[in-house]
Copies of this chain bind each other. A is one copy, B any other.
Amino acid sequence: LADAGGAGGEGQRVMIIGGDGYCGWATALHLSKRGYEVCIVDSLVRRHMDLQLGSDTLTPISSIYERVAKWKELTGLEIKLYIGDICDYDFLVEAVKEFTPDACVHFGEQRSAPYSMIDQKHAVFTQTNNVMGTINTLYAIKDYAPECHLVKLGTMGEYGTPNIDIEEGFITITHNGRTDTLPYPKQGGSFYHLSKVHDSHNIHFATKAWNIACTDLNQGVVYGVKTEETIMDPVLMNRMDYDGVFGTALNRFVVQTAVGHPMTVYGKGGQTRGYLDIRDTVRCLELAIANPAQRGEMRVFNQFTEMWSVNQLSEIISTAGAKIGLTPEVINVPNPRTELEEHYYNAKNTSLLKLGLEPHLLGDEIVETLLSFAVEYKDRVDYKAIMPAVDWKARKESVKA
């Protein structure tokens, strides 16, 4: 195992697609600090979406130009910027040719399930942006950086909620007396989740056809906002989404509780998923890069540290909230999604632990920190944005039957 604990990055060049986003920004700073030569590729489409939907991060965030300038000022470290859309293949190729990455971390996708379910246009945008962006990345690597290790963000949501244990990417099946190890069957629950399923299939093919090295990280739901680097200065602060479109469960519940709004549990609340702290996200990325996949290999890691049901999350937050003088409440709202509300869920996550991940577990301490943080910024909360905004099953017209 490569020692990813020290300044393991010496001389390695890492391109971070989507480096202006929640996970990408924290990862860029973390790797830069560890000695990697980092560049960020980002179209800033996420900030544009926020403008269009009228949603905003709880925390005030600076522009990407201010962010990297402040980082340079504080640390002397340079993060090169390539502002553009990876669906524009010529732009991407120029960036890859100029930067010559040893590893390419790909966070740059539309990542909200509700956003992808708004209507036909948002579904098509999501799958075009994500699937074609990833095809372009694969082609750029094949043609211009064949030794580059692609580290691609997938999601645990690709697996859905099967009634059997979830393995890491592949499963060995014995059927009618014969055995093979095949891609784990996927059941994405939104056009967003499905875009990641498509990515995984395209990547699997490309690694074999073109001898590319790839690690596909099926990430759980990320919570938290502070990492060692983002707390160095307010200009480096990360985003924290809490609205009905971009807010993920734990962050959303924390903000709701901080402002005295009941936590909105969708349906029965038995939905169980994998979760992880943003500090573990950046560490997982570091581990994956320091211990690369082989060429021709698509290696899949499930990237989460704990499994929680929505009801368990709301209980944890209730307990922690009460301790710091808040009055947490829960309401069950009609589930806008198409999903099972009570189901078996048992997913493997041993690969990253074996590489040395030491999880930050979800305890009272972290939740209290998160809650206090949310209280600090509560004046910025838009109450209208807190309820679920998109109904999976909505129909455009009332037609026969």
Contact = CB atoms under 8 A, between A and B. Distances in A.
B171 A165 contact: no
Interface in A160-189: 162-165, 171, 173-176, 178-180, 182-189
Contacts of A395: 142-143, 146
Contact of A120 (B89, B124, B127, B176): B89
A165 B187 contact: no
A191 interface: yes
Contact of A176 (B124, B135, B164, B189): B164
Contacts of A183: 185-187
A205 B189 contact: yes
A285 interface: no
A401 interface: yes
Nearest to A211: B393
A292 B186 CA distance: 25
B147 A400 contact: yes
A201 interface: yes
A123 B344 CA distance: 38
Contacts of A344: 178
Contacts of A136: 120, 124
B209 A392 contact: yes
A77 to B, nearest CB: 27
A396 B188 contact: no
B189 A194 contact: no
Contacts of A162: 180, 182
Contact of A132 (B127, B163, B202, B400): B127
Given A136-B120, A179-B164, A209 B393 contact: yes
Interface string A281-317: 0000000000000000000000000000000000000
A163 B178 contact: yes
Contacts of A204: 187
Given A175-B165, A178-B344, A123 B142 contact: no
A391 to B, nearest CB: 11
A230 B3 CA distance: 69
A210 interface: yes
Nearest to A202: B194
A190 B171 CA distance: 22
Given A173-B164, A173-B173, A183-B186, A198 B131 contact: yes
B188 A205 contact: yes
Given A120-B136, A194-B205, A201-B186, A393 B210 contact: yes
| A145, A189, A205, A396: most-surrounded residue (chain B CB, <10 A) | A205
A120 B139 contact: yes
A337 to B, nearest CB: 9
Contacts of A52: none
A208 interface: yes
8 contacts: A124-B135, A144-B396, A146-B400, A163-B179, A165-B176, A171-B175, A173-B173, A183-B186
Given A197-B198, A198-B198, 17 more contacts: A119-B139, A127-B131, A127-B202, A128-B128, A128-B132, A131-B131, A142-B396, A143-B397, A147-B401, A163-B178, A164-B173, A165-B178, A171-B175, A183-B185, A184-B185, A188-B201, A197-B201
Interface of A: 89, 119-121, 123-124, 127-128, 131-132, 135-136, 139, 142-147, 162-165, 171, 173-176, 178-180, 182-191, 194, 197-198, 201-202, 204-205, 208-210, 338, 344, 392-393, 395-397, 399-401
